[in-house]
Amino acid sequence: MTELFGDATPFWGSIASRALGWRPTEFWQATPQELVASLGSPSGATTTAPPSQETIRKMIERDSNG
């Protein structure tokens, strides 16, 4: 991992420790892909547009008649 991150390795180790609660052993045993996946968006998260007002109205109507 040192080769991939170079001088930034301590920075990424600190991020993994604070954000993920990883101990040094967990950091050094992880692959770079695992680190990126762990720091990325939750699985299945999307960046789609919010629902339209019409969609919201239909959901409110559907759920209030439940």
Alpha helices in the chain (DSSP H): 2-5, 9-20, 24-29, 32-39, 53-64
Cα(31)–Cα(5) distance, integer angstroms: 12
């762990």: which residue's tokens?
Answer: 38
Cα(66)–Cα(63) distance, integer angstroms: 5
Per-residue confidence of the chain (66 residues) as pLDDT tens digits? 456 677 888 998 999 999 999 999 999 999 888 988 888 866 566 666 777 888 888 888 888 875
The pair of three-digit structure tokens given for residue 2, joined into one six-digit string: 């040192």
Contact 17, 26 (CB under 8 A): no
